[in-house]
């Protein structure tokens, strides 16, 4: 079962939750924060039809009825607890503050984009399962520090192991879901991730080609920046290969080449 959360109306009700706040209804800000925590499906019992038209950073599955697991996280539709503070709209002063501060906060967020193999995990060659995964020293500590300091964290990774038939998309998604859960348990957030399974010499014909998302092309980075409405000039790309830095430069993002070792120590001056 995919991660699910319950968003229920607070004292202000759904009408207050849908009031404008900057360039989107307040509830849209709540759902953006829900998505940051790895949730893929949101239950909004009794929500009006207008909820389905809300702008989201990525396609969350929304439903208005059905059973919710008892251990699913609970969110209040007119109260947003973000790493940068708590915003509530159940009272007029709270709504006024949220309208004033949230748009500027979103535009000011910094983005840490990471290659995966050789940065987040030890590169053992085509890692597609938990059995072959080993965290890079300092990786969890680095992401925990980034999260605590308000960075949004993303992974952008070429995955030609899929094109070579070594593992499947489902295998990769299961592995990344597990890694995201490990990070959340340690107090870090992996906000989102992108992968490119294409390769010009793929063994599987459906993945054969030079896709615009395959680094050194910048497609994955550009998609993350657009999807989460982030400023390229406030983003940092960390990779272990020249292709990572080339992709960063093409996207207008500053790049750092990680030589290996302890990732937290390497990024100490940046975070």
Peptide bond into 150 cis (omega under 30): no
Instruction: Among 106, 129, 150, give the residue marking a domain's end.
Output: 106
Q: Write the pLDDT tens digit of every residue in 86-101.
A: 899 998 999 999 999 9
Considering the domain boundaries, does residue 146 fall inside one?
Answer: yes
95 is a domain residue: yes
Same domain, 254 and 121: yes
The first and second tokens of residue 55, run together, are: 């702008």
pTM for the structure as a whole: 0.86
Catalytic residue list contains 117: yes
Give a yes or no: residue 43 inside a domain. Answer: yes
| pLDDT value at residue 172 | 97
- Measure the CA–CA gap between 260 and 103, rounded to whole angstroms: 37
Picking from 62, 77, 106, the residue at the C-terminal end of a domain is 106
28 and 142 together in one domain: no
Question: Above 70 in pLDDT, residue 2?
Answer: no
In a domain, 91, yes or no: yes
Q: How far apart are the first and last CA of the chain?
A: 34
Q: CA 255 → CA 84, 109, 232, distances in Å?
A: 25, 17, 11
Q: Is 210 a catalytic residue?
A: no
Q: Convert the pLDDT of each residue in 113-152 to its tens digit.
A: 999 999 999 999 999 999 999 999 999 999 999 998 989 9
Within a domain: 271: no
CA distance 218 to 100: 33
Quick one: pLDDT band at residue 1, thresholds 50, 70, 90?
very low
- Does residue 111 carry a pLDDT above 90? yes
Q: Assess whether 24 and 126 both reside in one domain.
A: no
Count of structural domains within the chain:
2
What is the per-residue pLDDT for 82?
Answer: 79
Task: Tell me the per-residue pLDDT of 142-171, one tens digit each, with 9 for 90 and over.
Answer: 999 999 898 999 999 999 999 999 999 999
Distance CA(129)–CA(178), nearest Å, equals: 10
162 and 253 share one domain:
yes
DSSP codes, 205-264: GGGBS--TTSTTS-HHHHHHHHHTT--GGGEEEEESSHHHHHHHHHTT-EEEE--SS-HH
| Exposure string over 69-103, b if 16+ CB within 10 A, otherwise e | eeebeebbbbbbebeeeebbbbeeebbebbbeebb
Q: What is the mean pLDDT of residues 66-83?
A: 85
Residue 148 and residue 212 in one domain = yes
pLDDT in tens, 173-186: 999 999 999 998 99
**101 lies in the same domain as 192:** no
The answer to whether residues 48 and 124 belong to one domain is no
Domain endpoint, select from 106, 128, 145: 106
Single out the catalytic residue among 115, 191, 192, 240: 115
- Is the pLDDT at 267 greater than 50? The verdict is yes
222 and 253 share a domain? yes
Q: What is the C-alpha to C-alpha distance for residues 258 and 122, in angstroms, rounded to an integer?
A: 12
80 part of a folded domain? yes
Domain identity same for 153 and 194: yes
Mean pLDDT score of the chain: 92
Give the CATH number of the domain where residue 217 resides.
3.40.50.1000
Q: Which of 78, 117, 191, 240 is catalytic?
A: 117
Burial of 243 (0-12, 13-18, 19+ CB in 10 A): middle
**Residues 123, 73 within the same domain:** no
Percent of the chain beyond pLDDT 90?
Answer: 70
Range of the domain at 26: 4-106
Could you tell me if 92 and 128 lie in one domain? no
The answer to whether residues 253 and 132 belong to one domain is yes
């Amino acid at each position: 079962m995919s991660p699910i959360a319950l968003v229920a109306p607070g004292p202000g009700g759904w009408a207050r939750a849908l009031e404008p706040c900057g360039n989107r209804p307040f509830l849209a800000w709540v759902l953006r924060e829900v998505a940051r925590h790895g949730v893929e499906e949101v239950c909004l019992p009794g929500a009006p039809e207008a909820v389905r038209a809300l702008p989201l950073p990525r396609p969350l599955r929304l439903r208005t009825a059905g059973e919710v697991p008892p251990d699913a996280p609970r969110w209040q539709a007119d109260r947003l607890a973000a790493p940068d503070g708590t915003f509530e709209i159940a009272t007029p002063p709270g709504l006024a503050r949220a309208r004033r501060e949230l748009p500027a906060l979103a535009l000011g967020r910094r983005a840490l984009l990471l290659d995966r193999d050789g940065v987040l995990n030890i590169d053992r060659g085509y890692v597609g399962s938990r059995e072959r995964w080993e965290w890079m020293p300092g990786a969890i500590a680095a992401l925990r520090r980034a999260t605590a300091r308000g960075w949004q964290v993303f992974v952008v990774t070429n995955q030609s192991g899929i094109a070579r038939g070594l593992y499947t998309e489902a295998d990769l998604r299961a592995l990344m879901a597990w890694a995201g859960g490990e990070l959340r348990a340690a107090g870090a957030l992996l906000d989102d991730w992108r992968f490119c399974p294409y390769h010009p010499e793929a063994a599987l014909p459906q993945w054969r080609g030079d896709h615009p998302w395959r680094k050194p092309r910048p497609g994955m980075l550009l998609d993350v920046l657009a999807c989460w409405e982030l400023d390229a000039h406030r983003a940092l790309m960390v990779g272990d290969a020249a292709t990572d830095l080339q992709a960063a430069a093409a996207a207008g993002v500053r790049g750092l080449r990680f030589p290996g070792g302890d990732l937290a120590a390497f990024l100490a001056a940046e975070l």
